[in-house]
């Protein structure tokens, strides 16, 4: 294996104790200057390959129903529609549509919570 001499830049064998061109010592500078640096590529996110980029079209009805339940829970029977929206959100989540699933779940809990407050007369 050939390396470049740090002094003159000529190719020198790693087995040589000193540079044959300029006489600079090589073995000392090469052995213990620094630990060998291995280029480790950053780990690729495995989630991107597992989750389809295009959400399956079959989930659109469930997603729409989830949002509708979440919004209805604000006005009408919040425990029922809130829990229904929450369940639909979890179903959407399990089907791999993380964005809508989380949105529906959070929306259902939030709307259900405020729906209960509204229904109990907290705002009147
Ligand atoms: Zn040299």
Residues with Cβ within 8 Å of residue 50, at least 6 apart in sequence: 96
Summarize pLDDT for 48-107 with one digit per residue, the tens. 555 555 555 678 889 999 999 989 888 888 888 899 999 999 999 999 899 999 999 999
110 has pLDDT over 60:
yes
34 has pLDDT over 60:
no
Residue 12 CA to ligand 1 center (angstroms) comes to 7
> Which pTM value belongs to this model?
0.48
Residue 21 CA to ligand 1 center (angstroms) comes to 5
Residue 32 CA to ligand 1 center (angstroms) comes to 19
Residue 38 CA to ligand 1 center (angstroms) comes to 26
Virtual torsion, Cα 61, 67, 69, 71, nearest 10 deg: -150
Token digits of residue 17: 């104790």
Q: How far, CA to CA in Å, does 98 sit from each of 77, 81, 107?
A: 27, 21, 14
Q: Residue 45 — very low, low, confident or very high, per pLDDT cuts 50/70/90?
A: low
Q: How many Å apart are CA 96 and CA 15, to the nearest integer? A: 57
């Amino acid at each position: 294996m050939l390396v470049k001499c740090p002094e003159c830049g000529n190719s020198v064998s790693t087995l040589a104790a000193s540079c044959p061109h300029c006489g600079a010592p090589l073995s000392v500078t090469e052995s213990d200057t620094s630990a060998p640096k291995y280029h480790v590529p950053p780990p690729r996110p495995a989630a991107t390959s597992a989750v389809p980029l295009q959400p399956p079209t079959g989930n659109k009805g469930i997603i729409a129903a989830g949002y509708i339940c979440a919004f209805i829970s604000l006005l009408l029977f919040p425990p029922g529609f809130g829990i229904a929206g929450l369940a639909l959100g979890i179903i959407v989540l399990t089907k791999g549509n993380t964005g809508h699933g989380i949105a529906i779940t959070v929306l259902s809990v939030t709307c259900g919570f405020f729906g209960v407050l509204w229904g109990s007369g907290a705002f009147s």
